[in-house]
Amino acid sequence: MHPILNLKNATKQFTTPDGHIITALNNVSLIVEQNEFVTLLGPSGCGKTTLLRAISGFEDLETGSITIDGALVTNLPAHKRPVNTVFQSYALFPHLNVARNVAYSLEILGMPKADITNKVGSMLELVGLEGFGDRRINQLSGGQQQRVALARSLVAQPKILLLDEPLSALDKNLRHKMQQELKTLQEEIGIAFVFVTHDQEEALTMSDRIVVLNEGEIQQLGSPEDLYRRPKSEFVARFIGEGNLLDGKVVDVFGDRARISLPSGTEIVLSQSNLIARSDVKLLVRPEDVLVGQVGIPKEVLSFNGIVDHIFFVGTDYQLIVKVDGYPTLKALVRSTGETRSHVPAAGDTVCLSISIDSLHAIPSVDHN
């Protein structure tokens, strides 16, 4: 693998009109490989746009360095960096037709007309807009405008494409379609995409790796499965996916395993090497791993009886909210299949819940001593 982007210790501060200093990026380091689809995920205001603007050269850093394809670009102006950005607003030129919008950056570079026509043609083909060259921008749907914006950003062959919440303005169905198209396009052209979203589901489905940001700092960086199954903090566990967090205390650690006691007094042993003896932890279990009314699970399990408080039908699953003595209310899922539909529990029913020890992941509590 070949790093296309190497961002080291980037810090960016803004001073508000009333003199407050906002640290939008705090010592952020990130390496992106060629061909990689990396997503910046985090709540509004966490620094996602600032990070993209720093990479593209629209924002100077207080400290840190940026290398793109082996060349230091920290002090290069935006137009000299081999990157391009797709914005949520598309920022298309309404008075130019589709072809001229796509051709714009090549015209500025002074490329011969015939070459431009060729390149624009193949770009429009790539994004599925063959034959749309003469259309006016306001004659296009949201999805088509999005494709024009993509074609315009890709035509100058950037080494990295930056995308700032490009799908946020689209309705859900179109958004899902564009997610798949974008992913396929990225694999086809084989350049790195740094994609911004505040939507965890979008991040999980599209990314090779996800960077979770909060208040200008990287909380965790890893594959979608890593972040979903093995979050390092409560913030990441809560931000990505639905989850149940149970209280636990580490009794002792031995090798790469830890013995943990639950409030009920039950002790379990987890294969995790990052835990500290006598510290508090939260035990994460995802709703799909809380099994309802199942018997005969071969591995060690925790099991408890609870009372169904609410049940929601969401199409693929029934979501159960279950009250259990001595625990927070637990979320469980029952797959909605022909087989299960006839005996889905109802509110008020007593159900037996079981959790395999394997599906528990311990997260260190922040203020352990």
Which long-range contacts link 294-300 to residues 24+ away (Cβ below 8 Å)? 294/352, 294/354, 295/352, 297/354, 297/356, 299/356, 299/357, 299/358, 300/268, 300/356, 300/357
Residue with smallest beta-carbon separation from Mg ion: 49
Q: Which of 10, 46, 212, 253 binds ligand ADP (CB under 6 A)?
A: 46
Q: Which of 7, 32, 48, 147 binds ligand ADP (CB under 6 A)?
A: 48
Q: What is the distance between the alpha carbons of residues 287 and 71, in angstroms, rounded to a whole number?
A: 46
Nearer to Mg ion, 213 or 355 (CB): 213
Q: By CB under 5 A, is residue 50 in contact with Mg ion?
A: no
Q: Which two tokens stand for residue 250?
A: 């580490």
Q: By CB under 6 A, is residue 30 in contact with ligand ADP?
A: no
How many Cβ atoms from other residues are within 10 Å of residue 112's Cβ? Answer: 9
Q: Which stretch binds ligand ADP (CB under 6 A): 42-50, 142-150, 227-235, 251-259?
A: 42-50
Q: By CB under 5 A, is residue 153 in contact with Mg ion?
A: no
Q: By CB under 6 A, is residue 16 in contact with ligand ADP?
A: yes
Q: By CB under 6 A, is residue 162 in contact with ligand ADP?
A: no
Q: By CB under 6 A, is residue 44 in contact with ligand ADP?
A: yes
Q: By CB under 6 A, is residue 50 in contact with ligand ADP?
A: yes
Q: From the CB of 212, what's the least distance to ligand ADP, in Å?
A: 12
Q: From the CB of 263, what's the least distance to ligand ADP, in Å?
A: 37
Nearer to Mg ion, 49 or 85 (CB): 49
Q: What is the distance between the alpha carbons of residues 90 and 106, in angstroms, rounded to a whole number?
A: 18
List, in sequence order, every residue forming a beta bridge with 192; answer none if it has no partner: 160
- The dihedral sign for the CA sequence 343, 348, 354, 355: positive
State the number of binding residues for ligand ADP (CB under 6 A). Answer: 12
SS3 content of the chain, % helix, strand, coil (to 5): 25, 35, 35
User: What is the Cβ-side half-sphere exposure of residue 217, based on CA atoms within 13 angstroms?
Assistant: 4
Q: By CB under 6 A, is residue 312 in contact with ligand ADP?
A: no
Q: From the CB of 216, what's the least distance to ligand ADP, in Å?
A: 7
Please, is 142 exposed, middle or buried when counting C-beta atoms within 10 Å of its C-beta (0-12, 13-18, 19+)?
Answer: middle
User: What does each C-alpha distance from 15 to 21, 54, 163, 213 come to in angstroms?
Assistant: 5, 16, 26, 21
Q: By CB under 6 A, is residue 22 in contact with ligand ADP?
A: yes
Q: From the CB of 185, what's the least distance to Mg ion, in Å?
A: 22
Interface residues with Mg ion (CB under 5 A) are 49
Q: Which residues bind ligand ADP (CB under 6 A)?
A: 14, 16, 22, 24, 42, 44-50
